[in-house]
Amino acid sequence: MALRKIARGALYYSALMVLAIGFSFFGRAQGSICWGATINVATTANLQTLVTENPTNTTFSLAPGIHRLQSVVPKTGDVFVGQTGAILSGAALLTSFSQSGSYWTAQVSVTEASSYPGQCNSSSPACIYPEDLFFDNVVKTRVTSLSSVGPGKWYLNYSTGTAYMGDDPAGYTVEMSELRQAFSGSASTVQINNLTIEKYASLAQMGAVDGSGGGSGWAVEYSEIRFNHGRGITTGNGMWVYENLIHNNGQLGIGGGGTSFTVQSNKIYTNDYAGYSYYWEAGGAKFASATTALIEYNYSFANMGPGLWNDINSNGVTYSENETYGNIEAGILSEISTNITVKGNYIYDDGFNPSGTGIWWGAGILIADSTNVSVYSNTVVNCMNGIVGLVSSRGDAPDGQPYVLENLSVEGNTITQATGTAAGIAIDGSGISNAVYTSMNNVFLDNTYNLSVAGGDYLYWMGGPTTLASFLAYF
């Protein structure tokens, strides 16, 4: 399924570039103050200083090359446009090395925090530490002790400011991420276009681009967001995230919440290189406490966690015409939320989980303890499991009532499975009533099932696997 584009984004970008070109002829010298002008930004300039010196609604045109160690708090209406090849980097360039036995060392300027958020996979115990080391844009694996350093691995001693590397840095461009964020703050209607934003030492659940600071209407378009340790982008109210490459971020490609935001036509892939636990929060995109969000026409694949995910009392999230594959646990996951729509998505070879293959461990589309969910007109092909509802003991929602799986409508989908469970609902845990099957209006209607073994137990209902004929008889 090809990614779709809409006229608004293309027209907006064209208009913006025309304005930027026009202003560049009449703008004053760099650093001067001129309302609504375009300021040309050299790679040697301090971008925050230019923002401070100029009024709101200024356009900053970033020259090609690396704008290193830049962190910006914009003003309302500011626009940041990258000329072709413009890179905003949160990493320091390391150039002085010494060899000490089997290690190479460099001195760095970083400070250890008192604590760090996040939960790591057992194989990646250093995931919470936000500084990353890169050799020619390849991230090295951070370890928690000097004795663990070897080829491809490195260790940072905060007390001495010494980085120990297991690889010879000669001939490589060596960088260490240091700054937390590229863009943040409380301004509204900030626009970010055609920039590569990379190598920020963002903490878990912090975005290198953060539109959640209290303003509204941020837009991130036509950009590449990569190699940032936590999230690449954190969403906020009225945010517009359109046609970006969002990949190889340490925890999540996109995360956060907000109301009335749109994530459209992005490629979101190979996120969670740091090894955060996807049972905590990791993968392609995850939205918590989101309201009236539209997630459409995105391509989310090969993330170390769910491809697209809402959680924690999200209300009114719509997933439309997305394509996902190769993600862990789910292509699309709705968890403890309400009024969710999943329509017209194409999900294949997805939802596989190294923890297990049963219905409890994942699916192409997984709906967990959520209410008023409509799943229709989707195509799900050869996932670990197809379209699954899951019930477990998750405590109480803000209204004081327990989270439940109720009013789930799975209708008009096409599900192809050679193995696993094509569709159904499972109870995970003891002491949960069978009402989820009998009286909570959870239905599977008018779906097309393409199953490899006629008469096989590809469906799951009333606590166990069953045949398609028996499953259909319940509805």
pLDDT at position 179 is: 98
Task: Answer yes or no: are the C-beta atoms of 343 and 319 closer than 8 Å.
Answer: yes
pLDDT of residue 16: 42
Distance of CA 417 to the CA centre of its chain: 28
Q: How far is CA 230 from the centre of its chain?
A: 9
From residue 256, alpha-carbon distances to 196, 232, 253, 288, 312 in Å are 21, 11, 11, 6, 11
Domain 7-87+181-473 has CATH 3.40.50: no
Distance (Å, whole) CA 467 – CA 132: 50
> So what's the pLDDT on residue 428?
86
Q: 414 forms bridges with which residues in the sheet? A: 379, 448
Query: In terms of Cα–Cα distance, which of 297, 415, 411 is closest to 351?
Result: 415
Residue with tokens 């015409």: 321
Q: How many whole angstroms separate alpha carbon 461 and alpha carbon 442?
A: 11
* Residue spans per domain, the chain: 7-87+181-473, 91-177
Task: Answer for the pair 175, 199: CB distance below 8 angstroms, yes or no.
Answer: yes
Given this model, what pLDDT does residue 402 score?
Answer: 87
Low-confidence ranges of the chain (pLDDT < 50): 1-35
pTM: 0.92
Distance in angstroms (rounded) separating the CA atoms of residues 205 and 166: 29
Element (H, E) at 284: strand 283-296
Are 142 and 133 within 8 A, CB to CB?
yes
Dist CA 107 CA 156 (whole Å): 10
Adjacent-strand bridge partners of 62: 41, 82
Strand bridging mode 464-466 / 387-391: unpaired
- As a whole number of angstroms, the distance between CA 347 and CA 332 comes to 8
User: What distances in angstroms separate CA 215 from CA 122, 188, 258, one per listed residue?
Assistant: 38, 4, 11
C-alpha to C-alpha distance for 387 and 395, rounded to whole angstroms: 24
- Amino acid at residue number 54: N
Predicted local confidence at residue 6, as pLDDT: 39
Q: Write the pLDDT tens digit of every residue in 170-214.
A: 999 999 999 999 999 999 999 999 999 999 999 999 999 999 998
pLDDT in tens, 349-399: 999 999 999 999 999 999 999 999 999 999 999 999 999 999 998 888 888
Q: How many CB atoms lie within 10 A of CB 463?
A: 11
Contacts (Cβ under 8 Å, ≥6 apart) of 10:
none
Close Cβ partners of 435 (under 8 Å, ≥ 6 residues apart): none
3-state secondary structure of 10: helix
